């Protein structure tokens, strides 16, 4: 295999013939960028990259498309695999950064007393900033077929995110296309119900063409023309090249999401009379078989999934005893007067959460309003104390025993659950730890880089320093089932609200990124190297199967 070809490969294989396959392997991201990434990532823990991608339910049994490739030529596909994994962390990093800065700016907007001259479109603003800072995934030419690093089931909050990672390069347009050998071919579409589409749950999608002022109510409706996006989609039929489909789910839990639904082929198109009486184009797209099932489809039968399995009840109240609580704030208006609120002061002058209850950024310690505060439960500074909001489920993973996943989409910064454990002095922890208990340090997530100075460090991948040892005991909640990952999607945040003992903060787990339904929740067990010994004095290590490209392959703990 030529090194240069590596980047040309996409994960897509439709037919069996080499000729057919070639059609779908077009227009890669830049070769130099790909090679750089491969170099940077492939040396890290390669043997750990087994069956699953980091924390993705739908990928545990991997895409059949890739499997087929692996049969063809093993060496070749390992390179491709590495490339994908490298790109994947790149993609995740980019999205996290975007989301983190969005939360930050949104937070600032919310704090403004009058919203007159405020930026209404935080998404555009942040997109611009990241573009200027060259944080976008570089795209030399538009990719036809799978985009490396993006997997079926991935979810996004804003359209610009699709643009940022090269999944769909139109900011608002629904049909993205590229010129190829004198013809325009559609590369991706966004189906969000703006037009009169048939968006049922089958693998067939009837997509309405663009134009005709269907979306623009101000103008006279016209017949749609077979040009631009419509022409591109029509051309796809002859070329048989795949189209990436991104669906919008407006009925998602909490907020709307865009979901990457995988590759489709345009089968035919026709004209129809639209709602306004003018002609529109309709395109029939069929999902290419062999791709991972979409979780939102599975989500339609949530009841089936949860049957016979344990659904987690609301988070157990913490185990801290009832010492006299400290004095809280006297705010009666939900602590919106920042300069007057005692709790806000403890947080450095701001409420650490957005109005949508997402934590803005990791801090060494977050002070929520507590029982002694006069503010109502609806106060923006009461989030994690209100317990689990997402539906969690314990499930059997492929290679890691039991794990935990959510039945809902989870927005970045959302509170997930409280780790209920018991604080122990380190020595005592060593002494009392038996083989089957979880023992690990909970780091504090303090990150000193200012947002603008250290953009890439806004939301840490893993706790950094340690400040105590927690042992999960028998009354431990869902946290005991959450697996370790070297590139986790949760992180632990210290929170105080019902007492002021900084040695015993609540360990609250928040989402570090957008998490799709049924995707496994993981976090970094921030262990301290060489700290855990077995009974004969040997350091305990355990193979790690998290599948992350950053995986070291070993977890130093007894598990």
115 binds DNA (CB under 7 A): yes
Q: Are strands 465-471 and 439-444 parallel, antiparallel or unpaired?
A: antiparallel
Cα(332)–Cα(450) distance, integer angstroms? 32
Query: Of these, 30, 51, 202, 216, which contacts DNA (CB under 7 A)?
Result: 216
Does the protein bind DNA through residue 440 (CB under 7 A)? Answer: no
- 397 contacts DNA (rule: CB under 7 A): no
| Sole binder of DNA in the list 85, 175, 186, 252 (CB under 7 A) | 175
Site string for DNA, 467-506 (x = CB under 7 A): ----------------------------------------
* 16 scored as a contact of DNA (CB under 7 A): no
| Nearest residue to 437 (alpha-carbon basis) of 402, 403, 468, 472 | 472
Nearest C-alpha neighbor of 514 from the set 164, 170, 161, 137:
161
Closest CA to 341 of 382, 289, 302, 295: 382
Comparison of 7 and 174: residue with beta carbon closer to DNA: 174
What is the Cα Rg of the chain in Å? 25
371 binds DNA (CB under 7 A): no
Q: Angle between the 74-111 and 31-42 helix axes, to the nearest 10 degrees? A: 90
Options 15, 193, 313, 349; binder of DNA; rule CB under 7 A: 193
Give the shortest CB-220-to-DNA separation in angstroms: 11
Q: Figure out which of the listed residues 128, 268, 337, 502 binds DNA, where binding follows CB under 7 A.
A: 128
CA 135/CA 229 separation, integer angstroms: 28
Q: Which two tokens stand for residue 21?
A: 């396959």
Question: 223 vs 422, which CB is nearer to DNA?
Answer: 223
Q: Are 62 and 11 in contact (CB under 8 A)?
A: no
Residue 337 sits in the site that holds DNA (CB under 7 A):
no
- Closer by beta carbon to DNA, 165 or else 551: 165
Task: For residue 503, count CB atoms less than 10 angstroms from its CB and return exposed for 0-12, middle for 13-18, buried for 19 or more.
Answer: exposed
Of 402, 347, 359, residue with least CA distance to 384: 359
Q: How many CB atoms lie within 10 A of CB 304?
A: 9
Q: How many residues form the binding site for DNA (CB under 7 A)?
A: 44
Answer for which of 97, 144, 191, 478 binds DNA (CB under 7 A) is 191
The residue among 213 and 306 lying less far from DNA, judged by its C-beta, is: 213
Minimum Å gap between C-beta 258 and DNA is 7
| Contacts of DNA in 58-77 (CB under 7 A) | none
**Residue 213 is a binding residue for DNA (CB under 7 A):** yes
Tell which one of 98, 207, 419, 491 touches DNA (CB under 7 A): 207
Contact residue for DNA among 171, 300, 311, 317 (CB under 7 A): 171
Binds DNA by CB under 7 A, chosen from 37, 58, 91, 160: 160
Q: How far is the CB of 41 from DNA (least distance, A)?
A: 27
Beta-strand runs (E) in 439-552: 439-444, 465-471, 483-484, 490-496, 506-511, 520-523, 542-543
User: Which position among 46, 170, 235, 466 is part of the footprint of DNA (CB under 7 A)?
Assistant: 170
Query: Is 122 strand, coil or helix?
Result: helix
272 is a contact residue toward DNA (CB under 7 A): no
Cα dist from 475 to 152, 182, 207, 325, 419, whole Å: 37, 66, 51, 24, 11
User: Which two structure tokens, joined as six digits, stand for 553?
Assistant: 């392959």
For residue 281, count other CB atoms closer than 10 A to its CB: 24
DSSP state of 75: H
Out of 194, 313, 349, 376, the only residue in the binding site for DNA (CB under 7 A) is: 194
When asked if residue 177 is in the footprint of DNA (CB under 7 A), the reply is: yes
The residue among 377, 376, 352 whose CA lies nearest residue 362 is 352
Q: Which of 82, 210, 444, 445 binds DNA (CB under 7 A)?
A: 210
Q: Which is nearer to DNA, 246 or 429 (CB)?
A: 246
The site for DNA (CB under 7 A) is made up of 115, 118, 120-124, 127-128, 131, 158-160, 169-178, 189-195, 197, 207-208, 210-211, 213-218, 228, 248, 256
């Amino acid at each position: 295999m030529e090194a240069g070809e590596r980047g040309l490969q996409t994960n897509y294989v439709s037919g069996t013939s080499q000729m057919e396959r070639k059609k779908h392997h077009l227009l890669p991201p830049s070769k130099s960028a790909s090679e750089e990434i491969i170099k940077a990532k492939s040396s890290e823990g390669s043997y750990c990259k087994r069956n699953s991608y980091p924390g993705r339910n739908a990928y545990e049994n991997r895409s059949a498309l890739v499997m087929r490739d692996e049969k063809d030529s093993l060496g070749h596909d390992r390179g491709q695999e590495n490339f994908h994994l490298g790109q994947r962390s790149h993609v995740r990093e980019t999205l996290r950064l975007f989301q983190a800065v969005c939360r930050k700016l949104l937070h600032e907007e919310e704090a403004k007393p009058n919203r007159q001259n405020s930026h209404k479109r935080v998404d555009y603003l942040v997109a611009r900033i990241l573009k200027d800072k060259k944080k976008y995934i570089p795209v030399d030419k538009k990719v036809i077929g799978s985009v490396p690093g993006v997997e079926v089931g991935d979810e996004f909050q804003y359209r610009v995110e699709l643009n940022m990672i090269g999944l769909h390069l139109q900011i608002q347009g629904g049909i993205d296309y590229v010129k190829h050998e004198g013809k325009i071919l559609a590369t991706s579409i966004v189906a969000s119900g703006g037009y009169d589409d048939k968006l049922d749950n089958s693998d067939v999608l009837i997509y309405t063409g663009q134009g005709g002022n269907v979306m623009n109510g101000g103008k006279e409706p016209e017949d749609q023309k077979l040009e631009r996006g419509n022409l591109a989609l029509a051309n796809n039929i002859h070329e048989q090249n795949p189209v990436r489909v991104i669906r919008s789910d407006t009925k998602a839990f909490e907020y709307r999401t865009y979901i990457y639904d995988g590759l489709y082929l345009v089968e035919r198109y026709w004209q129809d009379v639209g709602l306004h009486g003018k002609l529109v184009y309709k395109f029939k797209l069929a999902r290419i078989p062999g791709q991972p099932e979409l979780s939102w489809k599975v989500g339609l039968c949530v009841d089936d999934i949860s049957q016979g399995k344990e659904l987690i009840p609301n988070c157990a109240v913490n185990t801290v005893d009832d010492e006299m609580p400290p004095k809280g704030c006297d705010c009666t208006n939900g602590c919106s007067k920042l300069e007057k609120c005692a709790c806000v002061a403890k947080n450095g002058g701001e409420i650490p959460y957005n109005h949508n209850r997402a934590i803005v950024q990791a801090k060494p310690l977050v002070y929520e309003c507590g029982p002694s505060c006069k503010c109502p439960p609806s106060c923006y500074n009461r989030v994690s104390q209100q317990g689990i909001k997402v539906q969690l489920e314990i499930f059997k993973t492929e290679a890691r025993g039991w794990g935990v996943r959510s039945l809902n989409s989870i927005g970045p910064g959302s509170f997930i659950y409280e780790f209920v454990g018991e604080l122990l002095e380190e020595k005592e922890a060593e002494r009392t730890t038996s083989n089957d208990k979880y023992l690990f340090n909970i780091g504090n997530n303090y990150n000193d880089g200012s947002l603008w100075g250290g953009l890439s460090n806004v939301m840490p991948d893993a706790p950094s320093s340690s400040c105590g040892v927690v042992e999960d005991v028998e009354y431990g909640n869902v946290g005991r089932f959450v697996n370790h990952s070297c590139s986790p999607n949760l992180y632990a945040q210290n929170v105080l609200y019902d007492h002021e003992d900084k040695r015993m903060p609540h360990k609250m787990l928040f989402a570090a990124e957008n998490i799709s339904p049924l995707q496994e929740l993981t976090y970094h067990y921030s262990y301290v190297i060489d700290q855990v010994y077995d009974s004969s004095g040997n350091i305990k290590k355990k193979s790690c199967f998290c599948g992350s490209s950053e995986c070291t392959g070993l977890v130093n703990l007894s598990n």
